[in-house]
Amino acid sequence: MPASVELSPNEVARFGADPATAFATNLALVRDRIAAACQRCGRRSIDVHLLPVTKTVPASVLRHAYAAGISDFGENKLQEARDKRAILADLPIRWSIIGHLQTNKVKYLVRFADEFHALDSLRLAEELNRRLDAVGRDLDVFVQVNTSGEASKYGLSPGDLVPFVQRLTEYPRLKPRGLMTLAIFSADEERVRNCFRLLRDLRDHATDVHPGLTHLSMGMSGDFEIAIEEGATVVRVGQAIFGARPTSDQYYWPDANVDR
């Protein structure tokens, strides 16, 4: 039980003495914000899936997150996800890998991940398909698109998306569900909104080629409400639920111009 999980002094300082209650409170506040954003744009909140992003949250603390009602965990770094999954193997957690993946790590991802949000090359698609076929399972995937044009971001360029999608039928173990993007790191709301609008427009064209690409994974703690207003069906929220991270955003997006 979470109450029996002893927290280190550093974990108590970061998450408090009762993380489960804090996470449950934050989770409710995020869901209220999702509902309000949906109401503003005439959408149903049940059509927006909240994916809690658990990167940098220790496995011991994630037991408290599970007690708070969180069973979908999103992780950027595969090694971190692997380690946590091994420790939390007794819990029915759904793992989503949402960060860039090197092909030499695919063999680890296919063993446990339920979803992958950062497909951005045919080489990676081929290796995923090969490894999935070897273990006899399929994988839901989102195609990552670089809508901000920043060199620090991974993802296909918008002009390469349709030709890429046309090739996905060659990899039957991959089940494309939608597109993913990271908006520009900017305090200028219109620039952020334009990234989300672009992904939505690209999705509308891509579904002509692959009807399964209906979902839009876009929006994080700082911009998920804007993303919902522009059509997001999955929002990836970490810090609004788990609090500020000890690492900067540059740790996950090196050389990014983070100004918000």
State how far the Cα of 41 lies from the Cα of 108, in Å rounded to an integer. Answer: 40
- Mind listing the pLDDT tens digit for each residue in 143-201? 999 999 999 899 999 999 999 999 999 999 999 999 999 999 999 999 999 999 999 99
Given strand 94-97, what is the order of strands in its sheet?
49-52, 234-237, 215-217, 174-180, 139-144, 115-119, 94-97, 72-75
* Cα–Cα distance measured from residue 142 to residue 175, given in angstroms and rounded to the nearest whole number: 9
* 176 membership: H or E segment, kind and range: strand 174-180
pLDDT at 248: 62
pLDDT at residue 257 is higher than 60: no
For the chain, helix, strand, coil in percent to 5 are 45, 15, 40
Q: What is the rounded average pLDDT of the residues 137-147?
A: 98
Query: In the predicted model, what is the mean pLDDT of residues 209-235?
Result: 97
Q: What is the pLDDT of residues 83-130, one digit of tens each?
A: 999 999 999 999 999 999 999 999 999 999 999 999 999 999 999 999
pLDDT of res. 251: 53
Q: Is 32's pLDDT higher than 90?
A: yes
Exposure b/e, 215-239, CB count within 10 A at least 16 = b: bbbbbbbbbbbbbbbbbbbbbbbbb
Contacts 24+ apart (CB under 8 A), 218-221: 218/179, 218/180, 218/181, 218/182, 218/183, 219/183, 220/53, 220/182
Q: Residue 259 has what pLDDT?
A: 33
pLDDT at 105: 96
Contact status, residue 206 vs residue 171, Cβ threshold 8 Å:
no
Residue type, 175: K
By three-state DSSP, how is residue 215 classified?
strand
Is it the case that residue 234 has pLDDT exceeding 70?
yes
Q: What integer pLDDT is reported at residue 258 of this predicted model?
A: 40
Geometric angle at alpha carbon 189, from 246 and 214, rounded to 5°: 85
pLDDT > 80? residue 74: yes
